[in-house]
Structure formats: C-alpha cells, structure tokens
Structure 1
Amino acid sequence: MKPNFAKATTGKGKFIVFEGADGTGKSTQAKLLFNYLKKDKKDTVFFSFPNYQSAWGKMVRRYLDGEFGDVGEVSPYLASMLYAGDRLLESAKIRKWLGLGKLVVCDRYMVSNIAHQAAKIKDQKLKIKYIKWLEDLEYGENKIPKPDLAILLTIPENIAQKFMKMRVRDIHERNVSYQKKVAKVFGDLAKANKNWVVVANTKAGKLKKIDEVHKEIIEIVKNKKVV
C-alpha cells in the first residue's frame, strides 16, 4: 500500500502533515510545531481536518456521530467522499500559501482518510483498489497538494484508549478492534513511503513527555531540510 505522493506538489513552500490513529497526540504536536515555527519567525500557516464548519465537514460530523450507521455499516467509498470534499474546499488556500513560499502545517490530511477507511476492508486486493481510487480522486481529480513530509505519531493502543476515554468519543474512537486495524494501515503506509517519519510516543514502555516528542519533531524537520 503506497500512496502516490513521493513527489510533492507544493511550489515554493513546504507542506508538513501530522498523521496517526486516534489518541496519538497528533493535534497537540502539530500545534506545537506551528507555534515553534511562528516564534522562530518562519512564515507559517496552520490547517486541521476535518473542518467541521464547512458543508462537507458538517456531514463528516454526522457520520462520526453515527447518524448513517456504525463503522462497518458505512461504505469506505462513501465516507471517503465526505472527507475528500472537505479537503477540496481548503485545497486552493493551501496551494496559495505554498505558492507564496509559506510553511504549511496540517493536523491530519488525505492519508487519515486512507487509513480509517481502508481499515474497513479485509481483502488485500480490494484494499489496494480502494487506495488507488482515493489517490485518483484526491490527487488526480481534486488536485489537492501533496505533502513534503508526513510525521506519523504512534502510541500503544491501551494508552491511546485511556486518552480517548477522557473525551466524548465518535464511532471510530469507540471501536477498539477498528482502531487497531487503523494503526496497522498507518504503519504499513509509513514503511512504504520515504517521505514519512515515525515518531513513537513511548520509550522502553514509558510514555514520553510532550516536550520530548516536540523536540524530536523539531530535529526531524530540520534534518529533512523542510525548514
């Protein structure tokens, strides 16, 4: 499973996305990196998906609230179109900022769509077929920008579940077996793509401090010459 974004389409700027299963801390780390870059006088903008204020994002919210059925009851193709529509609405803005040479930091992007929906598909051939369809839709038809760097945050499932219990959970987050499948898809995608870096939230079985993970990410973006 290899999404076709090895060659980014970002113009003058650089595009960094944070990915990971639910409860991995990606939103926290994406925001920390954005704030760090701003303080470092870097011309940076921030995006987060889904955008629940958009027409498509509101439909995503209804899907996640279970209005259209449980996780396994909603076609991955139909669910994917909701998320893809949401990104399409913002893609012109992202292209504009990248064209102006800005750094764009994004909390979740197209691969979150792949991981969460491909996790519903058991047959490997059908899974690959679905991934190709979504690539063609988002990068081909919709022409959304491709990332220069994807940072995948990982965490043991039992710890992720503890974090998620602290908030109101959606149909994705409530299903533990589904979350394990999502994490596996993310891991497979990371292994297949050279512009991905995996950052573990634990070390020797112990949870790292948020600032420790943040410092690791700063070193990664510097070493990758993204900033």
Structure 2
Amino acid sequence: MISNLPDKSKGKFIVLEGLDGSGKSTQYLRLCEYLSHVGHNLTRVDFPNYQGSFHGELIGRYLRGEFGEISQVNPYFSAWLYAGDRLEAKEKLVNGLEAGHTLVANRYTGSNLAYHSVKLPPAQRPGFLQWIKALEYETNGLPKEDLVVYFHLPVTLAQQMVDRKASRSYTTAQRDLHERNTLFLEEVDAAYLELCQTELHWRVLEVVDPASGELCDPEIIHRQLLELLRQEKLVE
C-alpha cells in the first residue's frame, strides 16, 4: 500500500493525551512555553478546535448531546468528526514539520483510537482501530507522531478536576457527554493503557501523588514530562 504520509524528517511531533481533568492542557501550555524559551521553533495545535473549524463546531454539538447519548451515536460518525477537525489543520501541521519546527499537539489521533473504539464490542475494536489509522494517516495524509504521552489518573479524580474547571466555549454544562459517563471513561482509560502497551511510541506518565491520592503539583508533572522527553531525545 502506498502511504500518503508527508515527509516530516525535519521536525519532531509530540502529542499529549489524557482524560479531561488530567492536567494535560496545563502541561501542554507549560511545555510550549519551555520549548520556546530554550530556542525551539514551535508549532502548536489544540484539538478539538471547537469554534475555528467546521468539524469542531459539530463536535461541540455532539458533546452537548444534540446527536443523542453515547450509545446512540455511531462511532464511525463521531470518529469521522474528530478526524475531519484535524484534517482542517493539516496544512499547519505539515508546514510546521517541514520547516523543522517542534510540533506539539494537545490531543490527536490517539483520542479517536481510545474514545471511539470502546463504543464497539471488543471483537470489533481491532478493525475499528485500523480504520481510524487508515483514515487519518493514509487517506487524510496526516503526519504520524514521534511520541504520544498519556497522562494517567483515576477516572473519579479526573471527573472531580473537571468539576473545578471554568466554563468552556462549547457547553454550558459542567460535564459534557463523555465526562459525565463514568463507566465509559473507565473503558476509555483502559483503551489508552492498552495502546501504551501495543504502540511502540506511546508512554504513560502517572500524574497522581501516591501518598495523597491527589493530582501532582503541575511543576512536578512538568519536570517528569521533560525528563521523559529527554529520554526519548526530543528535548535537550
């Protein structure tokens, strides 16, 4: 099979993944600030782009429950929405990598793999995962990541952290369609952890203090993330 993957040999691509409430967005901002400070040319992307893309606006409607509950929405349709949102950003992604920039993404294809595969019976999930990879990396020609870091914490703690968030652009609810479904999120977390075992470029970063059971201080998580990136030779 001939791949449509663009040549990204000049730049490196780092993706941060995690449940909402994992501190991922905070670490995304801190990592981008650090990389800029130490001299990296940087391209940054934050998915979904709720208000800046056609598909992102539809994703907002999906997460508000306008298309039905999770079990009522075909996962091929919901995954297609998120893939389309990234496709709209393809030029920015490719141009950044071709210019030799370090590309940092807050969520990427991994979110599609984890969140939408668990909507299907286990026997159907491997085929669905391959479909998503073919859609995003081959048909849509999106660049593949050099490293994916999964910020791991218990689902109940993630939900508690979501409850502390300020209002968001795409919903007036404190928890969206995904965030309010604990059993669904537990399956998503398990899917992420399995991907960390099966995908060679995925890593887990534990973000909970084992002594307190609370989310680690953001500075501690930031240092752990930088150490991981140094081990992978993606930062100095």
- Identify the TM-score tier after normalising by the shorter chain: over 0.9
Tell me how far apart the structure 1 counterparts of residues 87 and 210 of structure 2 sit (CA, whole Å): 41
Provide the C-alpha distance between the structure 1 equivalents of 2:104 and 2:60, rounded to a whole number of angstroms: 22
Q: Specify the code of the residue in structure 1 equivalent to 2:210.
A: A
Q: How many residues align?
A: 220
Equivalent residue letter for 1:83: Y
Q: Matched residue of 1:17: which SS?
A: strand
- My pick for the range that moved more, 159-168 or 65-74, is 159-168
Q: Is 1:196–2:194 an aligned residue pair?
A: no
Inter-partner Cα distance in structure 2 for 1:8 and 1:100: 13
**TM-score, normalisation: structure 2:** 0.89
Q: Match of 1:56, as an amino acid? A: H
**For each residue in 1:97-143, what CA deviation from the matched residue of structure 2 results, as whole angstroms up to 9, or x when unmatched?**
10110001100001101111012112x22011111111111111001
Match of 1:32 among 30, 33, 36: 30
User: 2-side partners of 1:51 and 1:44: how far apart?
Assistant: 19
For structure 1, the 5+ residue unaligned runs are: 1-6
CA distance in 2, matches of 1:59, 1:194: 32
TM-score between the two structures when normalised by the length of structure 1: 0.93
Counterpart AA for 1:203: D
Q: Structure 2: 5+ residue runs without aligned partners?
A: 166-173
Q: In the TM superposition, what are the counterparts of 1:25-174 in structure 2 within 5 Å?
A: 25-52=23-50, 53-122=52-121, 124-167=122-165, 168-174=174-180
Kept in 2: contact 1:9–1:146 (CA 8 A): no
Helix, strand or coil: the match of 1:34? helix
Shift of the 89–224 alpha-carbon distance from structure 1 to 2, 3 Å rule, reads same
CA distance in 1, matches of 2:6, 2:46: 19
The SS at the match of 1:222 is helix
Partner SS state of residue 203, structure 1: coil
Match of 1:210 in 2: 218
Q: CA deviation at 1:93?
A: 1.2
Identity %: 35
Provide the aligned C-alpha RMSD in A.
1.5
Aligned to 2:183: 177
Distance 1:187 1:16 in 2: 18
Opposite residue 178 of structure 2, the aligned amino acid is: H
Deviant stretches of 4+, over 6 Å: none
Q: Any conservation in 1 of the 2:7–2:98 contact (CA below 8 Å)?
A: no
